[in-house]
Amino acid sequence: MIPKVRRVVIDATPLLYTPHGIGRVTRMTIESILAVGYDYDIMLYGRRLQGGRLKDLANGLKSIHLRLPRGAERFIRAGHLIEGLTRGDLFHATDFYMPLGKKSKAVATIHDLIFLKEIEYMVDHQRLARWVPEFANNCKRIITISNFSKQEIVEELQVDPAKIDVTYPGVDQNLFHPQADEEKLRIRLASTLGLNRPYFLSVSCYTGRKNTPFLLDAYAKLLPNHPFNDLALVWNPPKEIREAYSAPAFNNRIHFVGRQPDEALRDLYCGATALVFPSLYEGFGLPILEAMSCGTPVITSRISSMPEVGGDAAIYIDPHDGESLVAALEKFEDNCSGYQALRDASLRQAKNFSWERCARETLGTYARCFAES
């Protein structure tokens, strides 16, 4: 008898709602699994009422897209709808959980516990707080993206650490890499984004745990000394913040450039003097890795998962101490003598993270799930 090829159903729902963060991690994991090869029948599943079609993003894989609202998830779970439609042997919940009737057939990627630890009063966080603890304790295995997150899952959700695999995301070095022609890069940044001076860069901005007002206040303290670098933020801030930091006192030194497509984001990384990422909590911190892959030095927080990503290549600050950040920014004024060494260290650190390794380790988790069946 020919042995059955087991079907793995990967939840591709994040591809339908965001190209960044979890969406990028999910897309690159799927694409990398396809690239390295696999012994399973892989199928994609998605659930989202609005937006594009999953089959347009499926890379030729079989796919099922349920156009149902989030409110239908308890009915999906109760009716074992996903299991019935896909006939999967294993289900990979890439975004914390899936509405499955049989959780014992699932592997869950739990990126962090922000929904419990740093509550941002989002509807999705309220759902995750209700559903993830029970899902985590009943699924077959858990993948998480840092040792920091693993420890939190063990402590907060009371999960056996032997059930958790730490699999770091990679970085797309075909996209995020240094630009050879720096003059053309400067022209693009000036013509498209109005960045005519050297600048510090901040991405993944937010008024809560991303700690962006802390950065704005620190930069404001530099202004009386007429710093060499402007500050550019990939952010559409609340009206009151935009108005406050666009006042004449700031002399057009702070630029809110809004969300950017990937190629423009790459240019912003490459053109920056340094990425400033003073977050208060991260499951991983993908912008740190993307900046380093572009050869851009990084200033980030010495807490949470961020030292795992930055290694010995980052400059670390206390994200509660404004003077700590001001001192780090000042290191890059007056032609920082160690700048090239920081660039070189950043490039070396980024090479420690690859999507190929992420794919192989994810496939290893699938194999352990089947071996434990």
List the chain domain ranges: 7-170+354-371, 182-350
Beta partners for residue 44, in sequence order: 10, 63
% of the chain surpassing 90 pLDDT? 86
Mean pLDDT, residues 64-92? 93
Mean pLDDT, residues 64-91? 93
Angle between helices 286-293 and 339-350 (to 10 degrees): 120
Segments in the chain forming alpha helices (H): 13-17, 22-36, 73-78, 81-86, 114-117, 123-138, 147-157, 182-193, 212-222, 239-245, 262-271, 286-293, 306-310, 322-330, 339-350, 355-371
Over 70: is that where the pLDDT of 336 sits? no
**How confident is residue 120, by pLDDT bands cut at 50, 70 and 90?**
low
How does pLDDT run across 286-324, given as a tens digit for each residue? 999 999 999 999 999 999 999 999 999 999 999 999 999
Distance between CA 259 and CA 23 in Å, rounded? 15
Distance between CA 354 and CA 36 in Å, rounded? 12
Distance between CA 293 and CA 310 in Å, rounded? 11
How does pLDDT run across 192-212, given as a tens digit for each residue? 999 999 999 999 988 889 999
Over 50: is that where the pLDDT of 285 sits? yes
Range name among 127-136, 222-231, 241-250 with the lowest pLDDT average: 241-250
pTM: 0.95
How does pLDDT run across 228-282, given as a tens digit for each residue? 999 999 999 999 999 999 888 899 999 999 999 999 999 999 999 999 999 999 9
Distance between start and end Cα atoms, the chain: 21
Distance between CA 314 and CA 343 in Å, rounded? 10
Distance between CA 238 and CA 209 in Å, rounded? 15
Distance between CA 127 and CA 122 in Å, rounded? 9
Distance between CA 358 and CA 145 in Å, rounded? 10
pLDDT at 125: 83
Residues 6+ apart with CB under 8 A from 289: 169, 171, 309, 350, 353
The per-residue pLDDT of the chain, averaged, comes to: 94
Over 90: is that where the pLDDT of 84 sits? yes
Distance between CA 186 and CA 363 in Å, rounded? 42
**How confident is residue 1, by pLDDT bands cut at 50, 70 and 90?**
very low
Its CATH class, for the domain covering 7-170+354-371, is alpha beta
Beta partners for residue 41, in sequence order: 7
Q: Give yes or no on whether 7-170+354-371 and 182-350 have one common fold.
A: yes
Distance between CA 74 and CA 92 in Å, rounded? 18
**What's the token pair of residue 97?**
């959980």
Over 60: is that where the pLDDT of 2 sits? no
**Cβ–Cβ under 8 Å, residues 292 and 266:** no
**What's the token pair of residue 355?**
């999507």
% of the chain surpassing 70 pLDDT? 97
Range name among 22-31, 110-119, 154-163, 352-361 with the lowest pLDDT average: 110-119
**How confident is residue 3, by pLDDT bands cut at 50, 70 and 90?**
low
**Element at 165 (helix H, strand E):** strand 164-166
| Yes or no: domain 182-350 corresponds to CATH 3.40.50.2000 | yes
